[in-house]
Amino acid sequence: MTTETRMFRRTDSDFPTTPGARQRLIEAGRVEGEGPLARQTHAAMPPTRPAEHAPDRAASAAVVPVPAGPCVPLGETDGGTLHLDLNRLLAGRCLIQGSSGAGKSATLRHLIEEAHDYLTTMIVDPEGEFANLAAHIGAATIRASEIPADGLTAAALRARHHRLPVHLDLTDLEPDNRIGKAAAFFAGLLGSPREDWAHTVLVAVDEAHLLAPHVAGSARDAETRRHGVAVLVDLCARGRKRGIAPVIATQRLAKLAPSVISELQNMLLGLNVSDRDVARAAGLLGFGSDRAAGLRELPPGAFYAVGPALCPRPTLVRVAMPVTTHVGATPELLASADVTADEAHTLLGLDALREVSRANTAPLPARAGIRALDEFLLDQRAGDAARIVTALRKITPNATTAQELAQHLAVDSEAIHGALDLLAASGAVDTMPRDETRIARLSARVRLRVSDTPVVGLA
């Protein structure tokens, strides 16, 4: 005898984010499974039917069993529809991994869309790609750049207590600040009082290697990295008893801290290209060298699934497409503009750039070192110039625009242009002519003074 779950394919018009929509699912049937999610189940489980009515499948394909408790359809295998057991996900966490183009983010989207009406969903979004999904499931967006770390801890505590879905947007943050603020949010989830542990929560973390990197980029970042890894490991290790089900997505196994991977019992592993990633993915799946090579040939959306919440042996599943569109999808090919070489020369403003280059390399007026410093300090533009240097140092070696500097420092554009002129005259910054596209960054000479000592990691 086999059992099957009726699949409710939701669209934007009937997605169950309102009580009325949820009631339609409840009226269709209710699962009385075991575990902390049983009382929150809304999906219907129709009675079993004879095996002879099941679709014809290859003799070698094992029929995928349907979990007895609350579950969501993940995709199709040669043995039928593969479902994700939510109670076992809560106990064992999940890793979604695949190289760029493998469909990792689309898989995470599909999982969130299917599971969000069983448990509260928290989306941790380092790249700002899940805003439309947050709107689709009714999640409140928190911009981490606007709230201090302790405020994010408080927000996580309140969201858990009131069972509120949340989208944590970590864009516009420096790498170390991004790790610190994500860790503060995770700390709030873990610090929830015991009476809130029954409020089960799915914590979906995209690009997790940015929050718990395997190797720090510099000596200064090492302590921040250790903190990020420790908190994410703690979330995975202690989350089960606290009703937290982390789903960790990453492009590279080699970039994500191994201590995080070791806490994840369920895995969806897709296309891998790097030799190191192929070897690690094959090791997690128990593949020999002959099967490991197949990881380089998987099409987008195809993943090997294994784990207590999925299936006992590695099974190839074609994950269903999400309802929402992935914002970070690769753009379609677009040819270059149809312009002549002279038109391109004008659009690039090369003549003006050459003039600026000569101006930047022109020596300062003949003055002794101390006198030059005195004149710089007495210049009315010196205060804004110092603030610009501080701002550019945070993003070195990257550049930014004069308009962004004006917004960041709350200074009018004319003052920013004047300060950049002063810094360019001293050779402290590399910049462009005054216009709306003016860009500036610290000069190579200054960058050498503020760069960190690189850390070399042997993997």
Give the type of residue at 16. Answer: P
Determine the Cα–Cα distance for residues 239 and 245; give it in Å rounded to an integer: 7
Which position has the higher pLDDT, 65 or 82?
Answer: 82
Asked whether the beta carbons of 241 and 192 are under 8 A apart, the reply is no
Determine the Cα–Cα distance for residues 228 and 53; give it in Å rounded to an integer: 51
Mean pLDDT of all residues in 243-256: 92
Q: Answer whether residue 216 shows pLDDT above 60.
A: yes
Which position has the higher pLDDT, 140 or 66?
Answer: 140
Q: Read off the pTM.
A: 0.66
What average pLDDT does the chain have?
80
> If one looks up domain 64-319 in CATH, what number appears?
3.40.50.300
Asked whether the beta carbons of 312 and 69 are under 8 A apart, the reply is no
Q: pLDDT class for 427, splitting at 50, 70, 90?
A: confident
Q: pLDDT class for 430, splitting at 50, 70, 90?
A: confident
Q: What is the pLDDT of residue 28?
A: 45
**Which tokens sit at 45?**
């489980």
Determine the Cα–Cα distance for residues 378 and 371; give it in Å rounded to an integer: 11
Q: What is the pLDDT of residue 46?
A: 40
Q: Where are the alpha helices (DSSP H) in 65-192?
A: 86-92, 104-115, 131-137, 149-162, 175-190
What is the third-level CATH fold of 341-449? Answer: Arc Repressor Mutant, subunit A (1.10.10)
Q: Which of 403, 396, 400 is nearest to 446 (CA)?
A: 396
Q: Structural domain boundaries of the chain?
A: 64-319, 341-449
Q: Where are the alpha helices (DSSP H) in 332-410?
A: 341-348, 350-361, 369-378, 382-395, 402-409
Mean pLDDT of all residues in 154-160: 94
Instruction: With H, G, I as helix, E, B as strand and everything else as coil, classify residue 314.
Output: strand
Q: What is the pLDDT of residue 29?
A: 47
pLDDT in tens, 299-324: 999 999 999 999 999 999 999 999 98
In sign, the C-alpha dihedral spanning 166, 241, 307, 253 is: positive
Q: Answer whether residue 168 shows pLDDT above 90.
A: yes
Q: What is the pLDDT of residue 17?
A: 43
**Which tokens sit at 131?**
């805003």
**Which tokens sit at 256?**
């994500």
Q: What is the pLDDT of residue 86?
A: 94
Strand order in the sheet with 429-431: 400-401, 439-442, 429-431
Q: Answer whether residue 205 shows pLDDT above 80.
A: yes
Burial class (CB in 10 A: 0-12, 13-18, 19+), 350: exposed
Q: What is the pLDDT of residue 82?
A: 94
Domains 64-319 and 341-449 share a fold: no
Q: Where are the alpha helices (DSSP H) in 141-288?
A: 149-162, 175-190, 222-238, 258-261, 275-285
Q: Answer whether residue 130 shows pLDDT above 80.
A: yes
Q: What is the pLDDT of residue 261?
A: 93
Q: What is the pLDDT of residue 60?
A: 34
